[in-house]
Chains A and B, each alone.
Chain A
């Protein structure tokens, strides 16, 4: 277990109306740690990571990110969002802005970086995800894999301490999954703290420090990948792995 956690969930509950979507979540993510969250659809894994930057509000319990507790106070939310990058299943790039403008937007307006520097920063990260040549195109002119890599670069431009990935490859055509996973693997090698919701078990095996399995709003099991895949403890985990690792 992490001694100096950067993300902490303590007995977190969340309801959508009467639907109990998160039940008693306790989780600590250490600095530089990579956690993969998997589980059947509707198990609450997306809700869990969306609570980290308060795209979803929790109703009970405590969430602390890099020492800041997430409350109704908008200042704490803004503070956390500045330090937490997020990559979505559906990319969520801004179609009216070029790739470069997408990446430079937040440094420019949230960090108040001068325009020239913000654009240099954007180019730097576009080079890291290997698409600098697309900088002046609009997102609609790019393939899904390229768009997702732009989304990763856009999040990195804020120099986040934590990166959240919400099923980053599940909207992609199969031949584009690899380029996105490669970019994520590279990021992990640089020591970024990452929480990844994904069904890519190969990625989990190779990159994750721990793998968590969620079902019906609970973290059923969390373990190092070797143990997790070789000796799952719970029946539900076994059933799930049996279904996806055929």
Chain B
């Protein structure tokens, strides 16, 4: 066969892509300077950062007051943060007025909680079922006894009036999340139920709670719950805000979950029914695992919202983290113009770390699940 000049008969060498497409320069070109418009935005944002960031960083670091025993030094350095205030008040921010000698109990409860949460959220962790029992059954009891105290165990009682600070914020958020999810799922199922009374009750609850501001729910829980229950049934004024937070979040989660239930094709229900699965098995084994997976972003969004909304419990007299900062600012020893910004900057950082962690976790879980059932 005659060789044709234009047809190659051996494969050519595989050449690396041109230099400008690889490495840092390639990345910059692809992501930041891909077009004129994109380049302009990049430069504009860069200029903005250069204009604001150095000052902010200097405010938080080099110009800040790190060590002081009272507000005098901070008043003298008004162009920097007053971290000395945060350091001095850190124990109060964490525990509120919880007696100093007993604060180890809060640490223990927080520590156990952290370990259990990591155990449950770690996708490959062993024996998560056992961990779930510990977390949902044993932990609340142990936590309550430790925090509240029990004379029989030689743990002095600590009145909830003294509770405060970060641990109250975490506690409210945790109780809210743990109770609102199952309740929200039940409400979502109730709203789609064929039983008219169940359906009507679910719709009324969801619409009723959603139509009212969270603050109003808190006031109602604080003032109306005692009216509905026989006297002496509410063991502590700490409980109503927790109930209110859980109920409020449940109404929103219910709608989120309902969206997931509706997104599933009817065939999934029929396939499960044809196998003879009862209603609860059908829901628990086939429908909910898929529906909840679909709405993870929305669920986490709600949890993040709930976590930040816990600051509102301060309005019914609970001393949460933000309220603890406000209380700290009232201390005459530390009065000064920079304290407010410093305290709130610290609070913002605290909330951001937790919320960002939740958001990252949900993103990772979504990626993992997408991998498992790729089409």
Q: Across the interface, name the chain B residue whose C-beta is closest to A82.
A: B276
Q: Is B317 an interface residue (CB 8 A)?
A: no
**Is B24 an interface position by the 8 A CB rule?**
no
B8 within 8 A of A: no
> A211 contacts the other chain (Cβ, under 8 Å)?
no
Distance of A82 Cα from B293 Cα, bound (Å): 29
Return B42 CB to nearest CB of chain A, in Å: 39
Residues of A within 8 A of B375 (CB): 140-141
Q: Which residues of A contact B365 (CB under 8 A)?
A: none
Which chain B positions have C-beta within 8 A of A53? 273-274
Q: Are B267 and A55 in contact (CB under 8 A)?
A: no
Within 8 A of B (CB), among A80-105: 81-82, 84-86, 88, 90-96, 105
Cβ contact of B271, chosen from A78, A93, A109, A141, cutoff 8 A:
A93
Cβ-neighbour of A106 out of B277, B290, B293, B372 (below 8 A): B277
**A96 close to B293 (CB less than 8 A):** yes
Does B275 lie at the interface of the complex (its beta carbon under 8 Å from any beta carbon of A)? yes
* A-B pairs under 8 A by CB, number: 69
B281's nearest neighbour on chain A, judged by CB, is: A109
> Judging by beta carbons under 8 Å apart, are A88 and B270 in contact?
yes
Cα of A93 to Cα of B286 in the assembled complex, Å: 10
Interface membership of A180, Cβ < 8 A:
no
Query: Do A55 and B277 contact each other (CB < 8 Å), given the known contacts A138-B372, A140-B373?
Result: no
Structural contact, B278 and A78, CB atoms closer than 8 A:
yes
- Whole-angstrom distance between the alpha carbons of A103 and B290 in the complex? 17
With both beta carbons as reference points, the residue of chain B lying nearest to A86 in the complex is identified as B274
**B374 near A110: Cβ-Cβ < 8 Å:** no
Q: Provide the residues of chain A in CB contact with B374, threshold 8 Å.
A: 138, 140-141
Decide: B268 and A94 in contact? CB cutoff 8 A: yes
Q: Which residues of B contact A195 (CB under 8 A)?
A: none
**What range describes how many residues of A lie at the interface?**
20 to 34
**Are the CB atoms of B290 and A95 closer together than 8 Å?**
yes
- Considering only residues 132-161 of chain A, those with a C-beta below 8 Å from chain B are 138, 140-141, 154-155, 158
Question: Any chain A CB within 8 A of the CB of B289?
Answer: yes
Q: B271 near A88 (CB under 8 angstroms)? A: yes
Closest chain A residue, CB of each to CB of B274: A86
Q: Give the complex CA separation of A215 and B339 in angstroms.
A: 83
- List, in ascending order, chain A residues with CB within 8 A of B201's CB: none
Interchain CB contact (< 8 A) of B373 among A55, A81, A91, A96: A96
Q: Verify B270–A109 contact, CB threshold 8 A.
A: no
Is there a chain A Cβ closer than 8 Å to B285's Cβ? yes
Residues of B contacting A86 in the complex (Cβ-Cβ under 8 angstroms): 274
Residues of B within 8 A of A78 (CB): 276, 278
Chain A residues near B267 (CB-CB < 8 A):
88, 90-92
Residues A110 and B276 in contact, CB atoms below 8 Å apart: yes
B293 and chain A: residue at smallest CB distance: A96
Q: With A81-B276, A93-B271 given, is the CB distance from A109 to B285 under 8 Å?
A: yes
B365 to A: closest C-beta gap in Å: 13
B residues 358-375 touching A (CB-CB < 8 Å): 372-375
B373 touches A95 (CB 8 A): yes
| Complex-state Cα separation, A109 to B289, whole angstroms | 16
B274 touching A55, Cβ below 8 Å: yes
For B276, give its contact among A91, A93, A158 (CB under 8 Å).
A158
Residues of A within 8 A of B286 (CB): 94, 105
Distance to closest chain B CB from A108 (angstroms): 9
Q: Mark B6-37, 1 if CB is under 8 A from A, else 0.
A: 00000000000000000000000000000000
Give residues of chain B (154-204) contacting chain A, Cβ–Cβ below 8 Å: none
Contact indicator A106/B276 (Cβ below 8 Å): yes
In the bound complex, do residue A96 and residue B290 qualify as a contact, i.e. CB atoms below 8 Å apart?
yes
Chain A residues whose C-beta falls within 8 Å of the C-beta of B268 in the assembled complex: 92, 94
Contact A105 B275 (CB under 8 A): yes
> Contact between B271 and A110 (Cβ–Cβ < 8 Å)?
no
Quote the shortest CB–CB distance from B296 to chain A (angstroms): 13
Interchain residue pairs with CB less than 8 A apart (20):
A78-B276, A81-B273, A81-B274, A81-B275, A90-B265, A90-B267, A91-B271, A92-B267, A92-B271, A94-B271, A94-B272, A94-B286, A96-B289, A109-B277, A110-B275, A138-B372, A140-B373, A141-B374, A155-B274, A158-B275
- Which A residues are closer than 8 A to B by beta carbons? 53, 55, 78, 81-82, 84-86, 88, 90-96, 105-106, 109-110, 138, 140-141, 154-155, 158
Besides A96-B289, A96-B293, A109-B281, 15 more A-B contacts (Cβ < 8 Å) are A53-B273, A53-B274, A78-B276, A94-B268, A94-B272, A94-B290, A95-B290, A95-B373, A96-B372, A105-B286, A106-B275, A109-B285, A110-B277, A140-B374, A155-B274
The 8 closest A-B pairs by CB, nearest first: A92-B271, A81-B276, A106-B275, A86-B274, A92-B267, A82-B276, A140-B375, A110-B276
